[in-house]
Structure 1
């Protein structure tokens, strides 16, 4: 079956899409004087979107490197503030080095829609967007492709590989935490997890992998959807799960249980172990000091800007970057039988 070759885009196609003259398109592509920056940017974006070939189109120009970072308001004002503040600081440092204008905006993650994201991008006059802790769907992916908007997920991942992303190494971080408990002699370990974002699911998988690799080890999984932190603590104190250690999906939940676990009247105060994840500032201030997995949050922010800059400059391959994590030895891991 013979198929006609696909027609290559030309300047008339660009002009038709934008509702301007062909001469305007030609002058904008050639970076001639007398063309506004807005028109020049729109023409060059459409040219890239249509695959128009020109020696003048090499990606986003230095003056066009404008991006908006959308950060969840709830996370920024709650116990997770230390997590995202670190990421934002890394973003700002790298953006300054890259000559990128970065507009950081707090949004209500419960109200995120495509229209809201589009509005934020338009207000910032940006050609790139960083979505911090916000998962993206098909509608956004399609719009970004059509509008030639570069998008990167920050502290997130896209299993369908439509977006580049950067996040901690959640799988091996969870594996590391669980292995630390196993090395201390614990064989019945509970993993407290959250609703299944792709990143959090990787932590559960890391926990399960470490348990499966250790003969005689048993893992119990409890989700926040069925047990809030105070309910889980009450169940642990009552001996419901018959475990000697807990790996929490984050530091906040772990710290909330510390007083109950290590209090003077607690049946768990002698020998129970707990490990968190993230190494938020509150983990270091807790008594006892929480053992946890440290995430290099500023490195995540810097990496996100580098990925976004590459996308804005014409890189089309989807890249999923994981930043390594490390174990923080606190005071909440006890050796069994010691």
Structure 2
């Protein structure tokens, strides 16, 4: 008896009346294929026993939509979220998950908007990048049994799962770097109190508290814009010798003024950022900062969402480790 021929993409295309190209793109989770066609292709692939090189265990049961804030994707944070999205796409392909990435206006994110995006993508799970949970969202997800994972976020009430960098320990390391250089009067410039950013402030406070003689002060962006804070520092309004910025963008904005030829600051004034965005490496001098593995955050978020889709009920908070980038902006005090 002749051996049974293994099914190929042409067999799937013939059964469904579509092109081989459409089958290939649907199996590879590429954009431009409608959810209905994608499901039909993958269902037929399973029926015929087709083995795809693109994903293990192709399934129509894993369809997710990732909502990314438009402002973050098109601003200085674009490098941050681009890395996260790359990690998401890689992990989704490995898990056989259909991932539909959509940009949304963060100032207009409501429960109704999220519901519409899920319906349009025909998804049964959602990834919220840079968007924090609230009571209505958490209650609806539990009632409707829709898995949700916060990406680069956390939920202190532990209603939904999340993946974020180790913000507390990263900030502790950043502050410790300044303290080890001999600085004892350090300013922390922080932002609006998202749970993730608050953890950075707490890490700063913990490092200061653990060091005898160290004094830390905190300024929020709601109190002083970056340019105003820079002017205050140059005018001597803050008795500090070092600054830990909540992110690289604000830190780089200050670099030219802090180290310019007309600056009255001492030569050993130090600054360290957080995230290791591309601009940190392009800055002159090279910004000292904390490196965040953004692709690992994206991969971890997809793996966690896949676990919830498979029935895992326990809320999980995954932290991705960070590391110090020495840079050129921390000097001995």
TM (norm. structure 2) is 0.83
Q: Tell me which residue corresponds to 2:192.
A: 195
Q: Tell me which residue corresponds to 1:18.
A: none
User: Residues of 2 paired with 1:194 and 1:63: CA distance?
Assistant: 41
SS in 1 for 2:216: strand
The reply on whether 1:271 has 2:290 as its aligned counterpart is no
User: Residues of 1 paired with 2:179 and 2:140: CA distance?
Assistant: 47
Q: Tell me the CA shift for residue 114 of structure 1.
A: 0.3
User: Residues of 2 paired with 1:199 and 1:291: CA distance?
Assistant: 21
Deviations 1:78-115 (A, max 9, x none): 00000000000000000000000000000000000000
Q: Tell me which residue corresponds to 1:47.
A: none
Could you tell me whether the CA contact under 8 Å between 1:262 and 1:269 is conserved in 2? no
SS in 1 for 2:60: helix
Q: 1:246 aligns with which of 243, 246, 257?
A: 243
Q: Tell me which residue corresponds to 2:292.
A: 295
Could you tell me whether the CA contact under 8 Å between 2:164 and 2:319 is conserved in 1? yes
Q: 1:107 aligns with which of 104, 108, 116?
A: 104
Change over 3 Å in CA distance of 1:247–1:227 after alignment to 2: same
Q: Tell me which residue corresponds to 1:82.
A: 79
Structure 1 portions without partners, runs of 5+: 1-36, 42-59
Q: 2:157 aligns with which of 157, 160, 165?
A: 160
Pairing of 1:25-64 with structure 2 (within 5 A): 62-64=59-61
Could you tell me whether the CA contact under 8 Å between 1:261 and 1:269 is conserved in 2? no
- Measured on the aligned residues, the alpha-carbon RMSD in Å equals 1.5
Q: Tell me the CA shift for residue 280 of structure 1.
A: 0.1
Pairing of 1:199-238 with structure 2 (within 5 A): 199-238=196-235
Structure 2 portions without partners, runs of 5+: 1-34, 40-56
User: Residues of 2 paired with 1:105 and 1:178: CA distance?
Assistant: 36
User: Residues of 2 paired with 1:280 and 1:140: CA distance?
Assistant: 31
Q: Tell me which residue corresponds to 1:49.
A: none
SS in 1 for 2:274: coil
Q: Tell me the CA shift for residue 61 of structure 1.
A: 9.0
TM (norm. structure 1) is 0.81
Aligned length: 280
User: Residues of 2 paired with 1:267 and 1:148: CA distance?
Assistant: 59
